[in-house]
């Protein structure tokens, strides 16, 4: 009974076209060129390294994509239990007609060669978009991205602001800011002017969100212009900041971003909880972890000060989900957003989904984003989410609360796509 | 198989008469007068406001109950996924013969009018009590409640002490204390004498528990009379206290309450983890949230110092449940109590229930309380809990451990009612 | 369908022979002599005491084992819902032919007498090992254990180091260290020499791991010899240390242990999160609890500094499991280990198991250890784990990901035993 009910709900969700509201896609090279683009995803290199593969095996300069894949393949046996591996298998099966249920030292080379031919087709990117049913892909753009050379209605710009908030101490970041804006900030006012120029530029190119990832100990508060002036002057003179000054600078820039979100009517994506560079010798992009000792109470001042700004909030630790549910239940401007990174595995997605559907208004839930670097990943990741969503809808709503299948599917569709359109703006 | 097994266990649990060991019922007006009393429950106003309804729409002075309901109804569509909405629907169906599966702008008015007629019946309160099977309803009484005009064996007084512990800094609270006791405290001794008079008054009226809700950063310790004297004198002179002095005062009063619980043989309900006034512009009673960074280790001194006092503990964050289970497994005077507020949704209730049944003596678990403001809510809330309890008993005990249905039902009955009687005293 | 699938996976797991990688077995008296050894397990005495049994009832000097059991039995009715009770019942049924489903005041005495006869058989220990299928039992040895009188290939030594890290302030611990090593440490160098002698001794006797349990606030860092010299001299002169000095000493010894693990190629078992002596009047071994506010980020420096050391990590709070999963996914030298103490109940084991199988390389998971004090406990505890493991494999892998039963069983076998052999060294 339940299995067929889940299937009945899954089918219409699975056939829906999608908007992916958070990715790391490079719109100038959105799809993979070789299997190395897929297996090079940090989820695989991290797990292979964690299982024993020396980092230098895959980060050795000059190795070809095929060589890199060949070096990773022997380690796949150690991670085939993982959800991440199941995505890999699904991609190979769907996109590259792979028939086996394991990628091994015996079969990888033919897979590599066959997939290469597929990916070399001129319309490969379009093929992936169509097969996946992707209408829009939201990006993560550096603040100085020129945003040209691609269709911003398909690949939607989002202004990523980690560097502005946390890395103005790096000369190269300050130089990029000055180059992008023509402003050489000497105080809080000119720094805000520079940031405003970035927002104007992004707004002109159809930006849909401002976005940032935040460490567990960050707690935003308002910093007055006067309090910020000295620190801004100091950092832009190239002087080193104390820890306290750094904190003033970060909070000043962060608060300014929220102000620009008011002005430009932009949602502000908060991705809360990551500690950077925890494993110093990790593979590329595989250094970061988290600390579950974080609370949304740290954002009390922010949520109160900016009722006009919608904050789609992602949390890294599953122990933060109940707070996210409760803050979204109380604050009109807080909405739940996806299942981020270390929480993006079925056991946590299912429980988070259940709690959100039980206690957050259905209009305030952005169900899922892929976080992908290459287009091929949207398909298996969204499929994983849709299977879980169908299961929760079947068990909790149709079986548990006697909803009709149609009503449950309608709820699923809103969470999966409708809310993305409503919250980030209508698809044009 | 499992579905019918769950039903078999559910039936005898569902037909049991209940004692509700924690509510906010006003015994002089226990049942609802109009649908506005039901829809005005902060769970609905919060969710509607969170979904976009301006607070002023429902808090505008002078609007009639019917007008208030009419303004809330359009927002119900946004929250019909929630567990809270399912309670509303169940109340309307059971109490007001509502046949639809949605309350809409098209059908709400006839529901309003029909329910009004029902509620205007002279015996409505009795009807609700009977239909729900409620034998006793525990109250949350202000410390200066006269406790007269109602049957204290049906509506059982509980002394709520938040104001004594945290709000003696407010002139109005001090005045009420002086008025209720005839004592004008000038030092720790006279403050204790005043509190003792309150306990005597409540004891005379059949009080069954002392109760308090506590912020996540509270950590009770013993404060000597000498250390408290100056602070008590200062606050009762109307002078402002420093943060440290406030903390001394709170801990002194709290510790004194525990001492009076020894003297009067009263359980002390601790509801741990609420941050007050987090969302400053929230609807009435919709301002509070929490911080999951709290631990029962903060209560180590208390639990050790008062072995004679039973502490029924409620935790607000689901991440505190395992600590509650473990502290109840170790400390004879700690018992688990209900599923509080943001944890009062099926996903958390089920997991909490499972853990408690697996690791806490069956005699030390108070399964559920409604926390209701109006009598009608006990029915759907206890029904939700009983469905989950039946599911856990069926899966973990009958299927998982081969218990007989009778034995599982017996365990369920103890958790649901037997322990309430044993822990708070026999029904007379 | 699912039930029979679970059974199909359970059967080969259940018939596997085991290595138990963490116990508190005394190899000179490994099996129980009377039922009092079993019912005296702190899980039962804690729960009975928590349910109301005065501690003195069972800790009264001079009472016979039978008297002790007789005094505990009346309290069993209060805890028969617990997972711990289900282990007791399973032991009695399997080892002592007990036919009832409850141990009561009416039937306990015949059970006692019958079991006594069984346990008095000369080959009882061997009977239990065989019936359980135990090939090896890892021990928890005091640092000055002579390690003689038993077969160290069957009962495998592990060097427990809590006392070295946290209790050198106790004269008796310092004396035992001096006696065991012949060294009277006066500075950091000689303390390290003493510790080195312990490692040499253990290494000679086939030690397989260094192990320690750690409080939630511990955060290891490197301490220079210079910084440690004064503190070591002070503590070994019998002078009292300040809190800061204690912290220096603990971290110095801990870091030294990790260095010896490099030298001797030993895994270092970390059991993270216990607060000792929280309930001061608890029964024997029933004083400890925890604080969920702990993070593996506290071990960042350690995990980075010792890439050559494998750290099998156990966490006490279930809220730490996602961090453990994520740190094991990223750090090559972190592996997941068992389900410790307050997390060793089905609800948490199932969820932890699910998350680990979904996101940690299969080679890096030590599924279970019994933590037992007497041999009889391995059987019901491992049975509990194997039932849950079979359920997760059936649901998530065979049903969810269409794995063959054979492949799922193979994964289960690695987690259950294969990884223990690979990580702690081959069975000889």
Please determine, for residue C428, whether its predicted confidence score (pLDDT) is greater than 80.
no
Whether pLDDT at C426 is above 70: no
- Residue B425's pLDDT is 86
In a domain, C386, yes or no: yes
* Contact yes or no for B79 and A354 at CB 8 A: no
Q: Which residues of B touch C291 (CB under 8 A)?
A: 295, 297, 323
Q: Do A317 and C323 touch (CB under 8 A)?
A: yes
Q: Check residue B428 and give its pLDDT.
A: 40
Mean pLDDT of successive 10-residue segments in chain B (428 residues)? 91 98 98 98 97 97 98 98 98 98 98 98 98 98 98 98 98 98 97 98 97 98 97 97 98 98 97 97 97 98 98 98 98 98 98 98 98 98 98 97 98 98 76
Sequence-separated contacts (24+) of A421-425 with Cβ below 8 Å: A421/A19, A422/A363, A423/A267, A423/A310, A423/A312, A423/A335, A423/A366, A424/A21, A424/A138, A424/A156, A424/A208, A424/A209, A424/A267, A425/A208
Phi, psi for residue C95 in degrees, rounded to 5: -90, -30
The model's pTM: 0.98
Residue B248: C-alpha distances to residues B163, B188, B230, B241, B373 (Å): 15, 11, 10, 10, 33
Which string of DSSP letters, residue by residue, matches C310-342?
A: -EEEEESSGGGHHHHHHHHHH-TTEEEE---GG
Report the alpha-carbon distance of residue A70 to residue A86 in Å, rounded. 19
Q: Does a structural domain hold residue A390?
A: yes
Asked if the Cβ–Cβ distance from B347 to A361 is below 8 Å, we say no
User: Is the per-residue pLDDT at C367 higher than 60?
Assistant: yes
Interface check for C348 against chain B (CB to CB < 8 A): the answer is yes
Cross-strand partners of B156 = B138
Residue B335 sits in the same domain as residue B354 = yes
Tokens of A17: 């076209």
3-class SS at A269?
Answer: strand
Q: How is C265-312 classified by DSSP, letter by letter?
A: T--EEEEE-EESSSSTTPPTT---EE-S---GGGGHHHHHH-TTS-EE
User: Do residues A414 and A387 share a domain?
Assistant: yes
List the subunits that have 3+ CB pairs under 8 angstroms with C. Answer: A, B
Q: Where are the alpha helices (DSSP H) in B133-242?
A: 162-166, 171-181, 188-204, 225-236
Q: What does the pLDDT read at residue A426?
A: 54
Is residue B14 included in any domain, yes or no?
Answer: no
Query: Which one of B295, B362, B396 has the shortest CB-CB distance to C293?
Result: B295
Query: Are the Cβ atoms of A323 and B83 closer than 8 angstroms?
Result: no
Is residue A423 within 8 Å of A310, Cβ to Cβ? yes
Shared domain for B334 and B199, answered yes or no, is yes
CB-based contact B292 A323, cutoff 8 Å: yes
pLDDT computed for residue B26 by the predictor: 98
Do A292 and C358 lie within an 8 Å CB cutoff? no
Cβ pair C50:B364 closer than 8 A: yes
* C250 and C339 housed in the same domain: yes
Asked if A304 has any chain B CB less than 8 Å from its own CB, the reply is yes
Angle at A373 between CA A105 and CA A89, to 5 degrees: 35
Main-chain dihedrals φ then ψ at residue A178, nearest 5 degrees: -65, -40
pLDDT of residue B183: 98
E strand or H helix that includes residue B315: strand B311-315
B406 and B299 within one domain: yes
Name the residue among B288, B293, B292, B285 with its Cα closest to residue B275.
Answer: B288
Q: Round the average pLDDT of chain C to a whole number and report it.
A: 97
The torsion region of residue C277 among left (phi > 0), alpha (psi -120 to 50) and beta comes to left
Q: What are the φ/ψ torsions at residue A337 (nearest 5 degrees)?
A: -140, 110
How far, in Å, CA of A228 to CA of A251, rounded?
9
Q: How far, CA to CA in Å, does B255 sit from each of A92, B161, B251, B258? A: 65, 12, 6, 5
Count of Cβ atoms closer than 10 Å to residue C191 Cβ: 29
Assess whether C136 and C284 both reside in one domain.
Answer: yes
Q: Which residue has the tokens 């903060």?
A: B298
Query: Mind telling me how many Å the CA of B273 is from chain C's nearest CA?
Result: 14
Q: Same domain for A327 and A415?
A: yes
pLDDT of residue B1: 56
Q: Are C173 and C163 in contact (CB under 8 A)?
A: yes
User: Do the Cβ atoms of C396 and A346 come within 8 Å?
Assistant: yes
Q: Minimal CA–CA distance to A13: which of A343, A426, A393? A: A393
Contacts of B345 in chain A (CB under 8 A): 355, 358-359
**Residue A25 lies inside a defined structural domain of this protein:** no
Q: How far is CA A148 from the centre of its chain?
A: 22
Per-residue pLDDT of A387-423, as tens digits, reads 999 999 999 999 999 999 999 999 999 999 999 999 9
> B251 to chain A nearest CA, in Å?
24
Task: Give strand pairing partners of C315.
Answer: C272
Positive or negative CA dihedral for C315, C319, C322, C323? negative
A303 backbone dihedrals φ, ψ, rounded to 5°: -65, -35
Give the residue among A417, A383, A400 at the shortest CA–CA distance from A87: A383
How far off is chain A from C194, nearest CA to CA, in Å?
32
If asked whether residues C101 and C145 sit together in one domain, one would say no
Distance from CA of A273 to the nearest CA of B (A): 14
Q: Which helix (H) or strand (E) holds A213?
A: strand A209-214
Asked if residue C92 and residue C232 are part of one domain, the reply reads no
Task: Output DSSP code: residue B141.
Answer: B
Q: Which of B89, B121, B153 is the last residue of a domain?
A: B121
> How many structural domains does chain C have?
2
Asked which of A119, A140, A161 is the last residue of a domain, the reply is A119
Tell me the mean pLDDT in the region C57-64.
97
Query: Distance between CA B199 and CA B294 in Å, rounded?
Result: 30
Helix, coil or strand: residue B293:
coil
**What pLDDT, on a 0 to 100 scale, did the predictor assign at position B427?**
40
Query: So what's the pLDDT on residue B216?
Result: 98
Q: Are residues A89 and A175 in the same domain?
A: no
pLDDT at C1: 56
> Residue C114 is part of a domain; what is its CATH number?
1.10.2020.10
pLDDT at C400: 95
Task: Using a CB–CB cutoff of 8 Å, tell me whether C342 touches chain B.
Answer: yes
pLDDT by residue, tens only, chain A of 428 residues: 588 999 999 999 999 999 999 999 999 999 999 999 999 999 999 999 999 999 999 999 999 999 999 999 999 999 999 999 999 999 999 999 999 999 999 999 999 999 999 999 999 999 999 999 999 999 999 999 999 999 999 999 999 999 999 999 999 999 999 999 999 999 999 999 999 999 999 999 999 999 999 999 999 999 999 999 999 999 999 999 999 999 999 999 999 999 999 999 999 999 999 999 999 999 999 999 999 999 999 999 999 999 999 999 999 999 999 999 999 999 999 999 999 999 999 999 999 999 999 999 999 999 999 999 999 999 999 999 999 999 999 999 999 999 999 999 999 999 999 999 999 985 44
Closest CA to C299 of C220, C386, C235: C220
Asked whether residue B8 is domain-assigned, the answer is no
Task: Check: CB of residue B99 under 8 Å from CB of residue B71.
Answer: no
DSSP assignment of C382-404 equals: HHHHHHHHHHHIIIIIIIHH---
Judge contact between C11 and C412, C-beta under 8 A: no
Chain C neighbors of A290, CB-CB under 8 A: 297, 323, 326
Chain A window 61-80: which residues touch C at a Cβ cutoff of 8 Å? 78-80
Domain extent for C95: 33-123
Q: Are B356 and B7 in contact (CB under 8 A)?
A: no
- At A425 the pLDDT is 86
Contact C13, C416 (CB under 8 A): yes
Q: Is the pLDDT of residue C405 over 50?
A: yes
Q: How many residues does chain C have?
A: 428
* Secondary structure element (H or E) that encloses residue B366, with its range: strand B365-366
Q: Which residues pair with A313 in a beta bridge?
A: A270, A336
Q: Domain for residue C343, yes or no?
A: yes
Claim to verify: residue A95 and residue A172 sit in the same structural domain = no
CA pair distance C145, C208, nearest whole angstrom: 15
Q: Which residues of C195-224 are buried (b: 16+ CB within 10 A; e: fewer)?
A: bbebbebbbebebbbbbbbbbbebbbeebe
Tell me how far apart the alpha carbons of residues B84 and B72 are, in angstroms, rounded to a whole number: 14
- Contact in structure between C279 and B303 (CB atoms under 8 Å): yes
Place of tokens 């832009």: A236
Instruction: With cut-offs at 50, 70 and 90, classify the pLDDT of residue C369.
Output: very high
CB A289 within 8 A of CB C325: no
Q: Pick from A119, A136, A168: which residue ends a domain?
A: A119
Q: Are A160 and A144 in contact (CB under 8 A)?
A: no
Residues 211-250, chain B, touching A (beta carbon < 8 A):
none
Q: Is residue A169 helix, strand or coil? A: coil
Name the residue among C307, C361, C400 with its Cβ closest to that of A51: C361
Determine whether the interchain pair A330/B280 forms a contact, defined as Cβ–Cβ distance below 8 Å: no
CATH number at residue A384: 3.20.20.140
* Both tokens assigned to C373: 């004090």
Share the mean pLDDT of chain B: 97
| Contact check, Cβ <8 Å, A297/B289 | yes
Specify whether the CB–CB gap between B416 and B366 falls below 8 A.
Answer: no
Strand residue runs (E) in A25-166: 134-138, 155-156, 158-160
Structure tokens at A428: 């044009």
**Residue in B295, B355, B364 closest to C345 by CB:** B355
| Residue B3 maps to a domain | no
Supply the pLDDT for residue B154.
Answer: 97
- Regarding whether C179 and C213 lie in a shared domain, the answer is yes
Min Cα distance A398 → chain B (Å) is 11
Q: Using alpha carbons, select from A340, A329, A310 the residue that is nearest to residue A422.
A: A310
| C410 interface with A at CB cutoff 8 Å | no
For B134, the token pair is: 């409620």
CB B200 within 8 A of CB B157: no
Task: Indicate whether A240 belongs to any domain.
Answer: yes
H helix runs in B281-345, sequence order? 300-305, 321-330
Contact A297 B279 (CB under 8 A): no
Burial class (CB in 10 A: 0-12, 13-18, 19+), B237: exposed
Token match 């009695």: residue? C92
């Amino acid at each position: 009974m339940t299995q067929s009910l889940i299937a009945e709900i899954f089918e219409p969700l699975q056939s829906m076209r999608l908007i992916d509201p958070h990715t790391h896609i490079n719109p100038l090279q959105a799809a993979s060129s070789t299997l190395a683009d897929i297996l090079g995803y940090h989820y695989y290199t991290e797990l292979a390294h964690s299982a024993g593969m020396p980092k230098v095996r895959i980060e050795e300069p000059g190795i070809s994509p095929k060589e890199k894949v060949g070096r990773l393949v022997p380690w796949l046996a150690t991670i085939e239990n993982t959800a991440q591996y199941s995505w890999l298998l699904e991609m190979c099966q769907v996109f590259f007609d792979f028939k086996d249920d394991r990628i091994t030292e015996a079969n990888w080379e033919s897979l590599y060669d066959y997939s290469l031919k597929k990916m070399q087709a001129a319309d490969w990117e379009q093929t992936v978009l169509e097969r996946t049913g992707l209408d829009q892909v939201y990006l993560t753009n550096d603040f100085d991205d020129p945003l040209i050379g691609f269709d911003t209605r398909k690949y939607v710009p989002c202004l990523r602001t980690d560097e502005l908030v946390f890395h103005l101490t790096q000369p190269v970041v300050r130089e990029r800011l000055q180059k992008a804006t023509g402003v050489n900030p000497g105080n809080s006012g000119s720094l805000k002017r520079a940031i405003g120029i970035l927002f104007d530029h992004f707004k002109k190119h159809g930006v849909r969100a401002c976005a940032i990832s935040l460490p567990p100990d960050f707690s935003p508060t308002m910093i007055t212009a006067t309090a910020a002036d000295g620190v801004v002057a100091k950092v832009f003179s190239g002087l080193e900041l104390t820890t306290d000054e750094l904190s003033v600078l970060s909070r000043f820039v962060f608060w300014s971003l929220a102000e620009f979100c008011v002005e430009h009517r932009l949602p502000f994506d908060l991705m809360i909880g990551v500690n950077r560079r925890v494993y110093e010798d990790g593979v590329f992009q595989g250094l970061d972890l988290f600390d579950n000792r974080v609370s949304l109470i740290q954002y009390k001042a922010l949520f109160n000060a900016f009722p006009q700004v919608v904050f789609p909030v992602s949390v890294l630790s599953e122990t933060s989900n109940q707070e996210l549910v409760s803050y979204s239940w109380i604050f009109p401007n807080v909405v739940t957003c996806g299942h981020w990174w270390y929480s993006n595995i079925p056991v946590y997605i299912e429980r988070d989904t259940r709690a959100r559907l039980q206690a957050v208004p259905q209009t305030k839930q952005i169900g899922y984003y892929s976080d992908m670097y290459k287009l091929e990943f949207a398909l298996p990741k969204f499929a994983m989410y849709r299977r879980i969503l169908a299961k929760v809808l079947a068990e909790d709503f149709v079986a548990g609360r006697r909803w009709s299948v149609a009503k449950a599917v309608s709820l699923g569709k809103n969470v999966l796509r409708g809310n993305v359109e409503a919250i980030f703006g209508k698809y044009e």
